[in-house]
Structure 1
Amino acid sequence: MAIWLFKLGRWSFHKKWIVIAAWLLTFAAVAVGSLSIMKPFSNQFAISGTPSIDAIYLLDEQFPGAPNPANAAGVNLVFQAPDGETLEDPANMAAIDETIVYIEENLQEISGTERFGNPVEVSPALQEGVIAQMAEAGVPVEVAQIDANNLAMVNDELTIGYTTFNFDVPTSMDVTQEHRDVVKAAMEVGRDAGLTVEAGGAGFGDPITVKTTSEIIGLIIAFIVLIFTFGSLTAAGLPVLTAIIGVGIGALVIIGATAFTELNNVTPVLAVMIGLAVGIDYALFILSRYRSERARMPADEAAGMAVGTAGSAVLFAGATVIIALVALSIVNIEFLTAMGLSAAFTVLVSVLVALTFIPALLGVFGERTFSGRIPGIAGNPRKRGANAGKRRTRPTMGYRWVTFVHKFPALIMAVVVLGLGALSAPVLSLEMALPSDSTSNLDTTQRKSADLMAEGFGEGVNAPFLVVIAADGIDPEAGALQPLVRAQEDLTEQTGGEFDPLSAAQTSSYLYTTQALSGLTDVKHAQIIGLNDDGSAAQLLVTPYTGPDDSETTAVAEAIRTQGAEIEAATGVTFGLTGLTAVQMDITERLAEAMPLYLAIVVGLAIILLLLVFRSIMVPVVAGLGFLLSVGAAFGITVLVWQEGLWGLVNTPGPLISFMPIFLIGVTFGLAMDYQVFLVTRMREHYTHSGGVDRPGSKFNAVEESVIEGFTSGARVVTAAALIMIAVFVAFIDQPLPFIQIFGFALAAGVFFDAFFIRMALVPATMFLMGRATWWMPKWLDKILPQLDVEGSALEKEYERTLDSFDKTPHEEQPSEELPAGR
């Protein structure tokens, strides 16, 4: 593989204009094609195969044409009277009417208007209708009154009221900005009259807006870090350029993919975030190796050697990131699979661009690659003169650090393990949820509407459950239903009607279910809200006491399903629990259940892959355990800041978005393996070339020499790579959407802990403590494992054996003033 990559790198160097033109044409073609066929991204997180989704299918079967409770474009418009006033006051009534009329006159696409209008007028009429309808069905007046009160649209004090309607579009993702603008303008009508008016609901969520400043800030900081790495303006710009090409192609393909499949609107943001970080880092590794190889060979062969050695590591590291992202599909959650595959594709493009575009650019710039040197940076002389051509040779910071670790390896190991272990403790209180009005930022109208609804009608009004009962397969002789059936039979005899045992059993099953659910702890109320045309199915509204982001609400959902299973067994009906709250809870539960399995898979994968690369038992074990520490610490600090509100750093602490933890595991794993490969391959390379024998007169043994020399060679580049990734991820904290902010923070924390605490502290410390056991592997295992040669040792030996072993293209070499042109 290394020899083939050598040839690829050297070919790209000589065929530079072909390579550059190919990538630029690809970029242009993808841009034109994708932008011409793209469709809107979705803001839904629904998944198939969950109980709540199955219940939606049941709802659609029994109530054809009924709105899908998971993605209906519903809007809640909430009114609050000024202090000391009520909504019944004439001026406030007029203000509400003006607000409603503005929507009616300016919003043509509207449906679900059963509860739409001035709540002070609509609510009493609705309640009276419920009481009359239920009394006609033989329900006691007291029960009917309670049901009517639960549907009230104005609170008892008449200070808070709400009305609801749906945008008449297929799903909430089809709501346009024009729709939202009408509602916003209507809200201003009420506000100008002195009312507090807020809006929420699935149909009134803010559109996904991505600030391009995040990418720009990340690129600027990356450019600055690269300047300090190479000391050259030209060299600093090359990785940034290649990353833009790779990420641009990846993002455009994702946009084009919306024409063929539904993609969540978070998908391209995460792909860009990850692709930008790895794209710059991979180009950095190859360019850094080129600079060191250029000191001993011509430019074209140095480019080939850089791609053959560092490029091998890039290929392997990229493969680990891709595998980790693709492995998200094992969770069997559609939107998460799409996110993983999209990000993996972007990483793949970034790898291919780094392996070919960088050597092509080296061919274009030639000896000007490291021009624009800045005095005093990256070893450059501070001033011109007699010593201008001499580079500083004092010990590097990497050498000083690794020799410090050599002196106190046990102390370093203890500090890292105990420190990151302590930071991981908050993970035990991790709470997860999907975005909703109740978890929006405090300063948004969506959050304010949810808070007003909770204040006026209780927290549970924001977390309703919808129960679907299909009674076409009911057992009319079910013992649990007989008291209710006999009561209906007696009522029929009193009124002189005709008694239908099947119809009576079906009605009884709805009443029986309502009574059973109302008796559950933390259920505020359960009531029948609709029957289908032939009375063979019913919809029940179940209102809990707690809100959607409360763990008690999850317990309520579980209790309802447990009770539902008992009702099915006792009566023969089919029971389903759904609604937006139930759908989101099912997704969260599925993700939580899948996380341990996915974590086990990626850690096991890490150990196997590193076993193949480093031909060692202990190196993969330490790397895997170190990964657990770094990802645990990243989780912990994220919980402290974003969930618990540490030091008031965020204005709206709350549960973390459900898919953040599992996605963080996948991405952090991939990036952790990047640093492990790039740092430890230099150590392995030195140990292999030395034959496991220390240099004569050295105060270090062979293992210590390999760790120190390899760390010194790779520490600067790995540090730069980590700082670039951290900068790119931190820049996304500036995004307006909270879950993107949390992703940026969590990924930055994960990279920080893994790069600086695990790879650059724990790994060398454990190697020093283990001694020769570091590179030990049973001979039988060594024989059966395939040889990957990521460090390019076979390429180096082949190159040293004969300089004519490669099909070199004749060329003229222009000598450099600072780098020798010959070998």
Structure 2
Amino acid sequence: MAKFLFKVGRWSYLHKWQVIVAWLILLAGTAGAALTLSKPFTSEFSISGTPAIEALQTLDDNFPGSGDIANAPTVNLVFAAPEGQRLDSPENMAAMDATVAYIADNLDGITSTERFGNPVEVNGELTRTIVGQMTEMGLPEESAKADAYNVRTLSDDARIGYTTFDFGAESSMTVTQEERDVVNRAMEIGRDAGLQVEAGGAGFGEPIEIKSTSELVGLAVAFVVLLITFGSLVAASMPVITAVVGVGIGALLIVLTTRFVELNEITPVLAVMIGLAVGIDYALFILSRYRQERQRLSGPDAAGLATGTAGSSVVFAGLTVFTALVALALAQIEFLTWMGLSAAVTVAISVLIALTLIPALLGAWGDRAFAVKIPGVAGNPGPGKRPARDLARRSMGRSWVNVVKRFPAVIMAAVVLGLGALAIPVLDLQMSLPADTTSNKDTTQRKAADLMAEGFGPGVNGQFLVIVDAHNVNPDTEILQPFMDAMPDETGGDAEKAALASFLYTVSEAKSVNGIRHAQLVAVNDDLTAAQIAATPTTGPEEEFTLDVAHGLRETNSRVEDATGVTIGLTGLTAVQMDITEELAGAMPLYLSIVVGLAIILLILVFRSIMVPVVAGLGFLLSVGAAFGVTIAVFQMGFLDLVNTPAPIISFMPIFLIGVTFGLAMDYQVFLVTRIREHYLKERGSGPGAEIRAVEEATVEGFAQGARVVTAAAVIMIAVFVAFVDQPLPFIQIFGFALAAAVLFDAFFIRMTLVPATMFILGRATWWMPRWLDRVLPEVDVEGTELEKEFERA
């Protein structure tokens, strides 16, 4: 591969304008196709196959037109009177009437208006209707009143009330800003009259807003770091240019893909974040190697050799990132799969850009590739000073690796214990998807959820919906006979009685589940073959206990199915989100084992060593654990009050963080250790202690040569990720923070500290490998050693 890449780099240098124009034409063509053929992104997260989603299909089969209740554009409008007042006072009643009337007059097509209106009036009418209907069905009046109380719209002290309706939009994700504005203006009417008025619900979620400044900030910081690294305006601009071209093509391809696949609007954000980071880094590695080779070779040969050596490492590193992102499909969550594939394609393009466009730009600039030098930077002479002969000889990297050489055991222990301590919060990891109950405390959505919990109990925000399909109910089931015998004769035949009995039996069993405050029958279809049962937990959707309650409900429902022959599903927004969270949590161990196992196998192939891959894999676990730990401490536990609303970590962040961090960790492992191995292969000899001296000298020299560029690459990547912490959406903030922390820990504490420390401790065992395994495994020359030998001979 190194020889082929040498030819690619040399050809690109010599045919510079053809390469540059080809990439620009591809960028323009992709832009034209994207603008012409693309469709709008969706705000919805595509999911299928979970039990709660399958239950929604059962609901739609038996209650046609019910729609997807998990994505219904429902709004909860919540009123709260000042302390010491009641909503049923004349002035507060007038304020609520005016608020509700404004919505009714200015919103077209609202649906699900059964509970829409003044909460005080709706509550009275709702109570009378439910008690009347339930007693007619033979339910005791006490039970009927309990059902009515459970769905009340006015709190016991009459200070808090709410009303609900659905926007006319198809789903919660297609609600327009104009519709939200009507509700906002209506709320101001109530607030001006002295009430607290808040709105929440799936239909009134915060609109997805993405700031375009993050990429610009990341690029600006990257340019400054490149300027310090190369000391040249021209050289610093090249990785930025190639990264922008690569990410531009990648993002436009994602936009074009919307013609064929429905993609969430967050998909390109994550692809751009990762694509920018790796694109700049890959170009940096090749450009740095070119500068080194250019001191002794002509431009075309230096470009070819840089592409053949550093470019081989870029291909390997890009392949690991690509594989880790594609493997996100293992979670079997559609939106996560498309996020991973989109980011993977962007990474692949970044690799191709680095291998061809960087040599072409070097050819275009020629001897001016490192022109416009900044005095006193990167070895450039300051005013009145002579230029530095060898920057690596007096670098901070050399000083640091010599410190590690003196105290390897102490430093290794400090890194392991320190990162291990930072990983402790992982034991308290809680995961969920965004909801009103986890929104920022300053938002009206969170205030609405808090008022609902205060007035009606936290479970009102996390109700479950039980769907009972009684098409195959067994009328002879003994457990249903008491319910059937209590029904009046005019109820119908045995099949109808058995179906109704199964509904009532399911309700009674659901009530017995620990953590269910109340369960009640809320709807029966026209032919009496299916029913909807609302089950209200005692805790909110963000509580871990609510997940246990869901499992308890499913176990109880399974027993009811076995006893009666009915089919029961558990769904609702809370159940859907919990299923997704559990799917992702269940996929993490498999995914983690695959990526770590893949890392060890690939590194054994590359470095012909057992210990180097083992240390790399264990180091990855340490760095990703520490990144998880600090992210959980800050965003979930509220450490140092850095965020004003601590909440469970978004469900798909951990598995995505594992994939991206794995790829980036292997980047730094390859780029740093290949330089060390190059020196080791050259310096190892025979005689007492020669092997040990070769390991130590190679570790120092290889580290000194690679540390500067790896440091620059890590700082650039951290800057790009940190820039996304400024995004308004909490889960993008968490992604930016977590990825930045992961790169920080992995690059500086693992690759540049723990790895050389273990090499000094292990000595010649660092590069030990069983002879039989060495013979079996194919040769993978990532360093381009054979290429260099052949080039020197020529």
Q: Which moved more, 1:550-559 or 1:109-118?
A: 109-118
- In structure 2, the CA distance between the partners of 1:392 and 1:621, relative to structure 1 (3 Å rule), is closer
Partners of 1:126 and 1:760 in 2: CA distance: 67
- In structure 2, the CA distance between the partners of 1:272 and 1:396, relative to structure 1 (3 Å rule), is same
Please name the residue that 2:473 is paired with: 474
Asked whether 1:506 is paired with 2:494, we answer: no
Aligned pairs for 1:467-616 (under 5 A) are 467-488=466-487, 491-492=488-489, 497=490, 499-616=492-609
- In structure 2, the CA distance between the partners of 1:270 and 1:290, relative to structure 1 (3 Å rule), is same
- Residue 232 of structure 1 and its aligned partner are, at CA, apart by 1.1
- Residue 698 of structure 1 and its aligned partner are, at CA, apart by 9.5
Q: Structure 2-normalised TM-score?
A: 0.98
Aligned pairs for 1:225-264 (under 5 A) are 225-264=225-264
- Counterpart of 1:738, as a letter, is P
- Counterpart of 2:164, as a letter, is T
- Residue 283 of structure 1 and its aligned partner are, at CA, apart by 0.5
- In structure 2, the CA distance between the partners of 1:570 and 1:459, relative to structure 1 (3 Å rule), is same
Asked whether 1:378 is paired with 2:378, we answer: yes
Q: Which moved more, 1:775-784 or 1:428-437?
A: 775-784
Deviations 1:538-594 (A, max 9, x none): 000000010000011101100000000000011111111000100000010111111
- Residue 373 of structure 1 and its aligned partner are, at CA, apart by 1.2
Q: In 2, are the aligned partners of 1:46 and 1:584 still within 8 Å (CA)?
A: no
Q: In 2, are the aligned partners of 1:43 and 1:173 still within 8 Å (CA)?
A: yes
Partners of 1:465 and 1:793 in 2: CA distance: 62
Please name the residue that 1:805 is paired with: none
Please name the residue that 1:671 is paired with: 664
- Counterpart of 1:568, as a letter, is E
- Residue 83 of structure 1 and its aligned partner are, at CA, apart by 3.0
Q: In 1, are the aligned partners of 2:398 and 2:703 still within 8 Å (CA)?
A: yes
Partners of 1:643 and 1:498 in 2: CA distance: 53
Please name the residue that 1:400 is paired with: 399
Q: Which runs of 5+ in 2 are unaligned?
A: none
Partners of 2:109 and 2:685 in 1: CA distance: 79
Deviations 1:608-638 (A, max 9, x none): 0101111111111110011111111111111
Please name the residue that 1:210 is paired with: 210
Please name the residue that 1:176 is paired with: 176
Asked whether 1:157 is paired with 2:140, we answer: no
Partners of 2:242 and 2:687 in 1: CA distance: 40
Please name the residue that 1:821 is paired with: none
- Counterpart of 1:130, as a letter, is I
- In structure 2, the CA distance between the partners of 1:175 and 1:39, relative to structure 1 (3 Å rule), is farther
Partners of 1:738 and 1:651 in 2: CA distance: 11
Please name the residue that 2:354 is paired with: 354
- Residue 259 of structure 1 and its aligned partner are, at CA, apart by 2.5
Q: In 1, are the aligned partners of 2:379 and 2:387 still within 8 Å (CA)?
A: no
Partners of 1:193 and 1:694 in 2: CA distance: 91
Please name the residue that 1:658 is paired with: 651
- In structure 2, the CA distance between the partners of 1:560 and 1:356, relative to structure 1 (3 Å rule), is same
Partners of 1:331 and 1:700 in 2: CA distance: 45
Aligned pairs for 1:636-647 (under 5 A) are 636-647=629-640
Asked whether 1:56 is paired with 2:48, we answer: no
- Counterpart of 2:288, as a letter, is S
Asked whether 1:735 is paired with 2:727, we answer: yes
Q: In 2, are the aligned partners of 1:46 and 1:583 still within 8 Å (CA)?
A: no
Please name the residue that 1:87 is paired with: 87
- Residue 53 of structure 1 and its aligned partner are, at CA, apart by 1.0
Aligned pairs for 1:607-756 (under 5 A) are 607-690=600-683, 692-693=684-685, 701-756=693-748
Partners of 1:784 and 1:178 in 2: CA distance: 67
Q: In 2, are the aligned partners of 1:694 and 1:702 still within 8 Å (CA)?
A: no
Deviations 1:177-217 (A, max 9, x none): 22222222222222222221111111111221111111111
Q: In 1, are the aligned partners of 2:692 and 2:764 still within 8 Å (CA)?
A: no
- Residue 43 of structure 1 and its aligned partner are, at CA, apart by 3.3
Please name the residue that 1:308 is paired with: 308
Partners of 1:287 and 1:455 in 2: CA distance: 61
Q: Secondary structure at the match of 1:110?
A: coil
- Counterpart of 1:606, as a letter, is A
- Residue 44 of structure 1 and its aligned partner are, at CA, apart by 3.3
- Residue 91 of structure 1 and its aligned partner are, at CA, apart by 2.2
Percent identity among equivalent residues?
A: 63
- Residue 105 of structure 1 and its aligned partner are, at CA, apart by 2.0
- Residue 780 of structure 1 and its aligned partner are, at CA, apart by 1.9
- Counterpart of 2:236, as a letter, is A
Q: Which moved more, 1:116-125 or 1:761-770?
A: 116-125
- In structure 2, the CA distance between the partners of 1:498 and 1:83, relative to structure 1 (3 Å rule), is closer
Deviations 1:14-72 (A, max 9, x none): 22112111111222222222233333333334522211111111111111111212111
Q: Secondary structure at the match of 1:528?
A: strand
Q: In 2, are the aligned partners of 1:468 and 1:537 still within 8 Å (CA)?
A: yes
- In structure 2, the CA distance between the partners of 1:418 and 1:124, relative to structure 1 (3 Å rule), is same
Aligned pairs for 1:456-475 (under 5 A) are 456-475=455-474
Asked whether 1:433 is paired with 2:432, we answer: yes
Q: Which runs of 5+ in 1 are unaligned?
A: 803-823
Partners of 2:706 and 2:526 in 1: CA distance: 73
Partners of 2:685 and 2:172 in 1: CA distance: 67
Please name the residue that 2:27 is paired with: 27
Partners of 2:568 and 2:169 in 1: CA distance: 29
RMSD between aligned residues = 1.7
- In structure 2, the CA distance between the partners of 1:702 and 1:694, relative to structure 1 (3 Å rule), is farther
- In structure 2, the CA distance between the partners of 1:513 and 1:696, relative to structure 1 (3 Å rule), is closer
Q: Structure 1-normalised TM-score?
A: 0.94
Partners of 2:448 and 2:40 in 1: CA distance: 27
- In structure 2, the CA distance between the partners of 1:213 and 1:772, relative to structure 1 (3 Å rule), is same
Q: In 2, are the aligned partners of 1:695 and 1:702 still within 8 Å (CA)?
A: no
- Counterpart of 2:663, as a letter, is G
Q: In 1, are the aligned partners of 2:392 and 2:398 still within 8 Å (CA)?
A: no
- In structure 2, the CA distance between the partners of 1:694 and 1:272, relative to structure 1 (3 Å rule), is farther
- In structure 2, the CA distance between the partners of 1:582 and 1:722, relative to structure 1 (3 Å rule), is same
Please name the residue that 2:779 is paired with: 787
- Residue 694 of structure 1 and its aligned partner are, at CA, apart by 8.1
- Residue 719 of structure 1 and its aligned partner are, at CA, apart by 0.4
Partners of 2:179 and 2:4 in 1: CA distance: 57
- Counterpart of 1:678, as a letter, is F
Deviations 1:256-282 (A, max 9, x none): 222322222322111111111101100
Q: In 1, are the aligned partners of 2:43 and 2:174 still within 8 Å (CA)?
A: no
Q: How many residues align?
A: 794
Q: Secondary structure at the match of 2:71?
A: coil
Q: Secondary structure at the match of 2:241?
A: helix
Q: Which moved more, 1:761-770 or 1:199-208?
A: 199-208
- In structure 2, the CA distance between the partners of 1:454 and 1:39, relative to structure 1 (3 Å rule), is farther
- Residue 393 of structure 1 and its aligned partner are, at CA, apart by 7.2
Q: In 2, are the aligned partners of 1:71 and 1:580 still within 8 Å (CA)?
A: yes
- Residue 302 of structure 1 and its aligned partner are, at CA, apart by 0.8
- Counterpart of 2:773, as a letter, is L
- Residue 695 of structure 1 and its aligned partner are, at CA, apart by 12
Q: In 1, are the aligned partners of 2:131 and 2:148 still within 8 Å (CA)?
A: yes
Please name the residue that 1:325 is paired with: 325
Q: In 2, are the aligned partners of 1:403 and 1:708 still within 8 Å (CA)?
A: yes
Partners of 1:137 and 1:693 in 2: CA distance: 93
Q: Which moved more, 1:110-119 or 1:742-751?
A: 110-119
Q: In 2, are the aligned partners of 1:14 and 1:360 still within 8 Å (CA)?
A: yes
Q: In 1, are the aligned partners of 2:691 and 2:764 still within 8 Å (CA)?
A: no
- Residue 388 of structure 1 and its aligned partner are, at CA, apart by 5.2
- In structure 2, the CA distance between the partners of 1:105 and 1:596, relative to structure 1 (3 Å rule), is same
Partners of 1:572 and 1:556 in 2: CA distance: 23
Deviations 1:406-440 (A, max 9, x none): 11111111111111111111111100000001111
Deviations 1:96-123 (A, max 9, x none): 2222222222211321111111111122
Q: In 2, are the aligned partners of 1:37 and 1:259 still within 8 Å (CA)?
A: yes
- Counterpart of 2:107, as a letter, is L
Partners of 2:675 and 2:107 in 1: CA distance: 65
Partners of 2:180 and 2:498 in 1: CA distance: 46
